[in-house]
Amino acid sequence: MSRKPWLVAACVVLVVSLMLFLTARISHVQRWPTMANTARQPSSNASEIQHYILWIQLKSNVKHPVSFYMSHLRELCSWIKTSQIHNIGIVGDVEVIGREVDACAGLLHGNPVTLEQLAYSEVVAALPEDGGCKLKFGLAGLSKDMVKIWLNKLTILCNLAAEDPERITTIDDANMAVDMLKTVVSTRFAGLQRGRLGCGHTWPRAMNWFGHASCAVQQRPVVWAKSLGIRGADCPAFLEASRPE
């Protein structure tokens, strides 16, 4: 199957597109269905950053099985409750999480967000079966489903951020360790400027990223989007700028 430029671009979006620090005018916000079935309400302290841990079940994942993510969620939820932190919720495929991880009871937020609900189905369907790209360390295994989730992350974040447009809201990957979440909660995003999309980490190490020698130096990734943060009021501009032409 030939690799058209736009197919490659759909994969490059995993590292670049959602990380751009853009400034633009406000426009329409696409919303998921109203999040009515809420177990965990956002923090009542409007000055606090609201964090959400995101997990959406894939049809298949050659890198990590479902049990891997459930184990991480169990550790994260146990730490949240033990530490009595009130500004972290769990979002995504909350029905599966609620069924599999007792420790997350009371932390689940909103209606389920499943793979089938996500946008970019036509773009992802046109990709090669392996997703068209390798994983960040050059290993095979980047599935179409994973590409689809990453293409939708900004929209998911902005739907959550729209619940309180003046507050900084983040989404964080469910496979992060407790120490990483502690860092996100304690230090990151607090100084996020208006009109900016915050990314959680810089990663300057030189290597053949995604299995390509050209990514070692010339096109080395400069951000790692394991955590993303934004104010809801800034979302429309970013959504408009990231919309496919």
User: Which candidate, 200, 198, 195, 191, places its Cα nearest to that of 237?
Assistant: 195
Range of the structural domain that residue 152 is part of: 5-242
pLDDT classification of 154: cutoffs 50, 70, 90: very high
Q: What is the pLDDT of residue 90?
A: 96
Contact 150, 13 (CB under 8 A): yes
89 beta partners: 52
pLDDT classification of 9: cutoffs 50, 70, 90: very low
- Percentage of residues in the chain with pLDDT exceeding 70? 63
pLDDT classification of 32: cutoffs 50, 70, 90: very low
pTM score of the predicted model: 0.76
- Statement: residue 1 has pLDDT above 50: no
How far apart CA 141 and CA 147 sit, in angstroms, is: 11
User: Which candidate, 140, 162, 166, places its Cα nearest to that of 62?
Assistant: 140
How far apart CA 140 and CA 164 sit, in angstroms, is: 39
- Statement: residue 220 has pLDDT above 50: yes
Q: What is the pLDDT of residue 34?
A: 35
**Phi, then psi, of 225 in degrees rounded to 5:** -90, 40
Q: What is the pLDDT of residue 8?
A: 41
Q: What is the pLDDT of residue 27?
A: 30
How far apart CA 85 and CA 43 sit, in angstroms, is: 9
Strand 198-201 and strand 168-173: pairing?
Answer: unpaired
**What's the pLDDT tens digit per position in 222-236?**
666 788 999 999 999
Strand 168-173 and strand 88-92: pairing?
Answer: unpaired
- Statement: residue 14 has pLDDT above 50: no
Q: What is the pLDDT of residue 42?
A: 66
**What is the average pLDDT across 67-72?**
91
78 vs 177, 180, 183, CA distance in Å?
A: 12, 15, 17
- Statement: residue 10 has pLDDT above 90: no
**What's the pLDDT tens digit per position in 75-133?**
999 999 999 999 999 999 999 999 999 999 999 998 999 999 999 998 888 877 655 56
User: Which candidate, 128, 162, 144, 173, places its Cα nearest to that of 60?
Assistant: 144
**What is the average pLDDT across 198-226?**
65
User: Which burial class, exposed, middle or buried, applies to 163 when counting CB atoms under 10 A from its CB (0-12, 13-18, 19+)?
Assistant: middle
Q: What is the pLDDT of residue 117?
A: 93
Side by side, which strands form the sheet with 88-92? 88-92, 50-55, 168-173, 224-231, 198-201
Q: Which residue has the higher pLDDT, 188 or 111?
A: 111
- Statement: residue 22 has pLDDT above 70: no
Q: What is the pLDDT of residue 7?
A: 42
Q: What is the pLDDT of residue 20?
A: 36
**What is the average pLDDT across 7-21?**
39
Q: What is the pLDDT of residue 15?
A: 36
Q: What is the pLDDT of residue 130?
A: 59
Report the number of distinct structural domains present in the chain.
1
